[in-house]
Chains A and B, each alone.
Chain A
Amino acid sequence: MKRTLLLSVAAGLLALAGCTTVNTVENAQKEGQRNMISDQRVITDTSLARKVAIVGVNSAMTPGGLLKAQVEIENHTHSTQHFLYHFEWFDANGMQVNNIISASVPEQIEGKESKFIYSVAPNPDCRDFRVKFIEAN
């Protein structure tokens, strides 16, 4: 009985040792207005979606007339999560525009952290975008 209890405590401590969460503070009355856009999601990796959730997507135009997209993500777990993401861009005809901007980017998010990832369209003809997330090994 004692041994089981000790083992349980040890396991609990080990599990907690890998957990670091993030505390945040921000201004309550927001000056800036985010142009939130409705999104369409396809979830095939429920494990990743449960851990790192997409909170919302907003977009804006850069001074040079390029579409800028920003995605807010949140880590629902207490441990650091590693994943890859990449943006795909499409022109007015729905044709994909390949560019280095579409390269996969390794990213990590701390436990319970909320953060933003963004990208800028490769050229002014781009109208739509898609973001893909892949869980790291």
Chain B
Amino acid sequence: MMDSAQTLHDCRDAFVSSLQDAATQDHRIVAVCNDSVGSSKLAGFREQWPDRLVNVGIAEQNMVGVGAGLANGGMIPFVCAASCFLTGRALEQIKADVAYSEANVKLCGISAGMAYGELGPTHHSIEDFAWTRVLPGIIIIAPADPVETRGAVQFAAQHTGPVFLRLSRVGVPELFDAGHPFTPGKADVLRDGDALTIIANGTLTHRAMHAAELLSRAGVEARVLNMATVSPMDVDAIVAAASDTGAILTCEEHSVHGGLGSAIAEVVVQQHPVPMKILGVPGIFAPTGSANFLLDEFGMSPDGIQQAGLSLVQRKH
């Protein structure tokens, strides 16, 4: 279970404050949303730059197309919407208007994963890694804490080309020091060990760290990688993890099909096969429950991750 002593942060706060900082420095930055000023926390942006907040109403296909058009017109649009609707409803626009057209659009999937918890699978976005990572040219980032969120927004604002920021509202502790640099496509080694590697991102990274501490108490030392960038992958870090530790356990707030674990497995089986276990939503529509309840339910409590790690280590040659 969660460590209640830690201060937890809603990463949307870091997202909007860094977006506003970027917009202060670069007048080309505009926000586009689908009646989601509140859920995307854009009220402050709207107050400061009412002309640069483009609210298209409840119309996600138009929203993404408008984003591509704004980019063509020289703007840097941050298209903000609940990730389930952004990626599900407007996937063809993301493919053709953004990725294929190489438009300078920043897709901001708010409350991704199971952040909407009890609202159910219509509002869960546990397919978005799978849907977006097959599209060439989109950099996909799922930050683990407010510091990394800030770095990811700064990167997106400065990078020319499509970016998908996959953001949660579920509270997470700070994992990085304030000055920690965000490097796209590079995983962070949060902890070293030789028995196995746990790779996670987003809301799962702090759970993975907690699990590694439990494993250490049991005499099993795990390397922990925070892999915020799902595309392009940090292939070197994955191969090194396979080579150095001989087993890889992945954790994500996403379906076990097509997400972070699948992407890592594609590298592992082709470059350095080792035993793997992929933790995530196990190919079902989730039952009613909060995000944290569901993560625990699907074996991703720190204890659940520890147990998966112990089982995985047993499978090593």
Q: Do A and B bind each other?
A: no
Chain B residues packing against A (C-beta within 8 Å): none
